[in-house]
Amino acid sequence: MITQTSKKPDIQLRKGQIVKGKWHRHHYHVVKKLGSGAIGAVYLCVHEKKQVALKISKQSASVSSEVNVLKSFQAVQGYHLGPSLIDVDDYQAQNGFTYSFYVMEYISGESLHDFIRRNGHEWLVSLLIKFANDLHVLHQQGYVFGDLKIENLIVSRKPVQLRWVDVGGTTLQGRAIKEYTEFYDRAYWQCGSRKADPGYDLFALAMVILRVYYPNGFTKGSNPKKTLEQKINQAVAIDPLRKLLLMLINNSITEAEQIKDFLLNYFIHQKSKRDKRRRHQKAKSPHEALYPFLEIGSILTIGGACYLYVTFFM
Amino acid sequence: MKTGTLKQILLITDGCSNQGEDPALVASLVAEQGITVNVIGILEDDHTEQPEGLEEVEEISENGQGVSQIVYQDALAQTVQTVTKQAMTETLQGVVNNELKQILGSEKTMEELPPEQRGEVMEVVDELGETCDLEVLVLVDTSASMTNKLPTVQEALIDLSISMNARIGRSRFAVYQFPGRKKPIQQLVDWTSKLDSITSIFAKISSGGITPTGPALKEAMYQFGKKTLRRRFTRDDYTDIEEA
Ligand SMILES: Nc1ncnc2c1ncn2[C@@H]1O[C@H](COP(=O)(O)OP(=O)(O)OP(=O)(O)O)[C@@H](O)[C@H]1O
Ligand SMILES: [Mg+2]
């Protein structure tokens, strides 16, 4: 997209600038830009010596919508349903226009791409298990995240955890998905509708994982589902992960909970299989079973040789 | 609160009009009938900057109280649905602003409310956007330069119908091309709720050299049915939707 028409110009905040809220009069000191997208831009700011993230946009309607979602998440204690909400206000810019903004918890961390590049693909499994838990709670609250994509995820530390930002696509179940991105969109791949149900997020989640393997994405081709299956089979070497992805795009997993169950099950199963195999081997190998006798035999032989040596030559 | 059916014309073009009335003027009159005019301009893949012909795009949508966007072909599908949704939200905000004026008795609009109240009003707008009925007349420029873009346009329209049919409210679409043979516009698909079942919409098109955007817009306006014209969203407008 190169142009977007609207009477209000986009807003750029400068490093070092102070953003003062029109209604609540809080001050935010701009440190740097964290990112920008279709709706607006997000800046790292300092407020009362704490780091916060400030999202500002010319579309006050979108800001209000996102704030509504974040507010409803605050009620769910003990889970990371998106960053916590700190403030909502308007900023009267020098150009005479008013811009809506909200302030939220700053989630520090790195992109999923960077994290996996440094730590290895094996981490995907553990990240997925925890993330699926959060997703499950979100679904139980009656929502669907919607615009699940790599850019909207951050790997935070202590503990290592995948967290989502940008609730712009978050939609009440049963309604039409508010925002989506083609590569992650179930309907684009002809694998279902754009009605918000948990399966919509699960499909997008599979695409997030696949995107880790194909950072530049790929096109859908004439048979989109087949393309996906091929891409999964070609790149994903981790057995449970490959199987999981295939199930996710085939709609045979419909609840986020099942992801955790499947992955944990797989590992428990695999461990016991390995144990069994070891026991099996022991019983079968005649070699191993003979070791104690060989050992005793050799001790006796050496001992006997020494005895003879002593009696004959000394 | 309820609204009547939202009506939109979505004009898809890659150039400038060269025949008939000024499309921006026509758009402003169409908007007066309660029909929003949205415009999408398509760029050639090898264009790095916006060609002059596409300046008209913004002019038409602004006069048509709609939304416009200029894009490359590969972003068309996603843009068609964003533009449609954004225009819906803007129209609904307008409706809500009118209500607010009546309730609050002042010139207050949503943007002037404190953030807390604005949030509550936004919930109403979101709700309306999900539940209202929608009619979109798609008007496709089929002049010669558009020929190679028509398959993409068709895909984008199918995609639009997938997006809109995911809503709770009902959506209906009609597709017209312009110029038609001897007429300003020519019907390709009559009002229907599902475009996804339609294949090769643009199969039987003979493209010409002229682009009569103004006259086409005017003709398109009449396709919404004469009885619904000359009415904006008023309080008594929602009575006929339930059984429609
Ligand atoms: N709370 C946060 N903490 C840290 N970084 C954040 C936070 N919120 C957003 N970001 C960063 O800013 C970027 C842009 O934010 P966001 O996705 O909300 O913008 P957007 O305009 O909604 O973009 P789009 O809708 O195109 O995805 C994100 O990709 C993320 O890297
Ligand atoms: Mg984002």
- For B176, the enclosing helix (H) or strand (E) is strand B171-178
Locate the ligand 1 atom nearest the alpha carbon of residue A109 and give its number. 4
Mean pLDDT computed over every residue of chain A:
88
Query: How confident is the model at residue A179, as a pLDDT?
Result: 94
Cα–Cα distance, B13 to B33 (Å, whole number): 23
Residue A110 or residue B202, greater confidence: A110
A65 to chain B: nearest residue by CA? Answer: B122
Kindly give the distance from the C-alpha atom of residue B234 to the centroid of ligand 2, in angstroms, as a whole number: 37
Nearest bound ligand to CA A164? 1
**B11 φ, ψ to 5°?**
-95, 125
- For A6-36, write each residue's pLDDT tens digit: 578 999 999 999 999 999 999 999 999 999 9
Catalytic residue among A89, A134, A147, A185: A147
- Which residues 104-143 of chain A have a CB within 8 Å of chain B? none
Pairing mode, if any, of strands B68-72 and A3-4? antiparallel
**How many CA atoms lie less than 13 Å away from A109 in the CB half-sphere?**
23
pLDDT at A185 over 90: yes
**Average of per-residue pLDDT across B234-242:** 41
Residues of A in contact with B77 (CB under 8 A): 182, 188
Least CA distance to A171: which residue of chain B? B126
Q: What is the mean pLDDT of residues B153-172?
A: 94
Ligand 1 site-directed mutation target among A11, A12, A28, A34, most atoms within 8 Å of CB: A34
| pLDDT computed for residue B209 by the predictor | 72
- CATH fit for domain B5-243, picks 3.40.50.300, 3.40.50.410, 1.20.1440.130, 3.90.45.10: 3.40.50.410
Token duo for residue A84: 């916590």
Q: CB of A22 within 8 Å of any CB in chain B?
A: no
Give A48→chain B minimum CA distance, Å.
22
Residue A3: pLDDT over 50: no
**Cα A121 to averaged position of ligand 2 atoms, centre (Å):** 24
Token code pair at residue A249: 């795009």
Percent of chain A, pLDDT > 90? Answer: 74
Neighbours of B204 (CB within 10 A): 9
CB pairs under 8 A between A and B: 81
> Residue B52 has what pLDDT?
75
Output the average pLDDT for chain B: 85
**CB proximity B162 to A under 8 Å:** yes
Which CATH code for domain A18-105? 3.30.200.20
Whether domain A112-265 has CATH 1.10.510.10: yes
Please report the pLDDT score of residue A213 as a whole number: 98
Residue A312 burial (10 A CB sphere; 0-12, 13-18, 19+): exposed
- Within 8 A of B110 by CB-CB distance, chain A residues are 60-61
Share of chain A above pLDDT 70, in %: 84
Residue with CA nearest ligand 1 atom 22: A39
Using the beta-carbon criterion (under 8 Å), do B119 and A67 form an inter-chain contact? yes
Q: Which of A46, A72, A156, A144 has its CA nearest to residue A111?
A: A156
**How high is the pLDDT of residue B34?**
93
pLDDT in tens, A41-54: 999 999 999 999 99
Strands A161-164 and B35-43: unpaired
Q: Where are the alpha helices (DSSP H) in chain A?
A: 60-74, 112-119, 123-140, 198-213, 224-235, 239-249, 256-284, 286-313
Domain ranges within chain A, ordered by starting residue: 18-105, 112-265
ipTM of the prediction: 0.85
Model confidence pLDDT, tens digit, residues A105-157: 999 999 999 999 999 999 999 999 999 999 999 999 999 999 999 999 999 99
pLDDT reading at B110 higher than 90: no
- pLDDT, position B243: 37
pLDDT at B229 over 70: no
- Asked if pLDDT for residue B230 goes beyond 80, the answer is no
- Which of B197 and B159 is assigned the larger pLDDT? B159
In this predicted structure, what is the pLDDT of residue A37? 85
- Given this model, what pLDDT does residue B83 score? 94
Task: Give the model's confidence band at B130: pLDDT under 50 very low, under 70 low, under 90 confident, else very high.
Answer: very high
The stretches of chain B forming alpha helices (DSSP H) are 23-32, 55-63, 76-104, 115-131, 150-165, 213-222
CB atoms under 10 Å from CB of A137, counted, come to: 17
Determine whether A201 is an active site residue: no
Interface contact A194-B58, CB threshold 8 A:
no
Helix (H, G, I), strand (E, B) or coil at B10: strand
Least reliable range by pLDDT among A175-179, A181-185, B50-54, B159-163: B50-54
Inter-chain residue contact B166 with A177, CB threshold 8 Å: yes
Confidence class for position A270, pLDDT limits 50, 70, 90: confident
Judged by average pLDDT, the poorest of A64-68, A73-77, B163-167, B219-223 is A73-77
Q: Which residues of B touch A100 (CB under 8 A)?
A: 111, 115
Among B58, B93, B130, select the one facing A5 at the smallest CB separation: B58
How many A from CA of A164 to the centre of ligand 2?
Answer: 9
Q: For chain B, how many residues are written?
A: 244
Ligand 1 atom closest to residue A165's alpha carbon, by position in its atom list: 8
The pLDDT, as a whole number, for residue A150 is 97
Decide if B69 touches A, using CB distance below 8 A: yes
Nearest-CA distance B9 → chain A (Å): 17
